[in-house]
Amino acid sequence: MVREILLAVMLLAAFHPILSKAESGSETRACQAIEHALGSSCVSQNPLRVAVLDTGELDMVLALGINPIASTTPYQVGQFPQYLPTEHIQIQSLGVVQEPDLEQLMRLKPDLILGSQFRHGRLYTLLSSIAPTVFSESVGASWADNLRLFARALDKDTEAENLLNEIDRQCQTIRHLYDSKGQPSLSIVRSMQTHIRLYLPGSFIGELMNRCGLLRPTAQSGKGFARRLRSPQQIDLLEGDIILLSEYSPKQGSLVQRWRHSGFWQRLRGQVYEIDDSYWMLGIGPLAAKQVLDDLEQIINDY
């Protein structure tokens, strides 16, 4: 808290000359009011220096044809998800999602910041003093609405609708294949270091399954984001005709590896397919969705 207060003082001091110049009428830029989760922000009609605060926003702006100047990363500073086309783009690191480097962000002088109230609501006042900031309310299941919100801020509404229509067409293709296979239930499992998650409809991947009309096991239906399991005695809750298994940063340890060496693992009857955590779980955007659907089409075809 002390660090944030000090940073606020720095920001106000740094931006005082800019505010005075704007008030004098010597420099004005046309902007449009964008309504979002924490109010309304006046965004330049052609933002050129866009900074993002999470992997979902990074996925979305790249899908909309914008190369951001800066972004946070999921768990290692400067390590962007491998599925994203970032290798030939100069994107400055803002540290990890949980603690964005606001001093670095201030030095980069963005003209638009994109993020979410869920992740960084506590920082909104500070961020808004750096640049116009547009926040979605949440992340995960709201990814399509978030895409539309950020597209409005970037004047890319048509591009966003084209992306969503393309995903829906891919869903239709998968649904026809899925029906021909007898509609197997899809269990979505993610292993963390201390627990295992079963993803529910209130998650990005749960919404994508619903969008395509794919059925889930009873243990993974209903409301909510995810169920958390800590004992291999709960192994039956992983069951499904198809079990889709990802591991978050397995080099740091993965609980499912211990479960696989327990006698309980043999109780599972479904076919287990390992999936890429970087876009199935961390992506939360249209580029991730397309790769998830590519995987699903192959997995269902092989079932």
Cross-strand pairs, 247: 191
pLDDT of residue 211: 97
Per-residue confidence of the chain (303 residues) as pLDDT tens digits? 435 544 554 554 444 444 333 333 334 468 999 999 999 999 998 899 999 999 999 999 999 999 999 999 987 777 899 999 998 899 999 999 999 999 999 999 999 999 999 999 999 999 999 999 999 999 999 999 999 999 999 999 999 999 999 999 999 999 999 999 999 999 999 999 999 999 999 999 999 999 999 999 999 988 899 999 999 999 999 999 999 999 998 888 899 999 998 889 999 999 999 999 999 999 999 999 999 999 999 999 999
Count of other CB atoms within 10 angstroms of residue 162: 13
Question: In order of start, what are the domains of the chain with their CATH numbers?
Answer: 2-155 (3.40.50.1980), 184-302 (3.40.50.1980)
Is the pTM of the predicted complex or chain greater than 0.75?
A: yes
| pLDDT given at position 23 | 33
On the 0-12 / 13-18 / 19+ scale of CB atoms within 10 A, 201 is middle
Determine the pLDDT at residue 252: 82
Length of the chain: 303
pLDDT at 18: 41
Tokens of 180: 């021909």
Beta carbons of 103 and 7 less than 8 angstroms apart = yes
* Contact yes or no for 3/103 (Cβ under 8 A): no
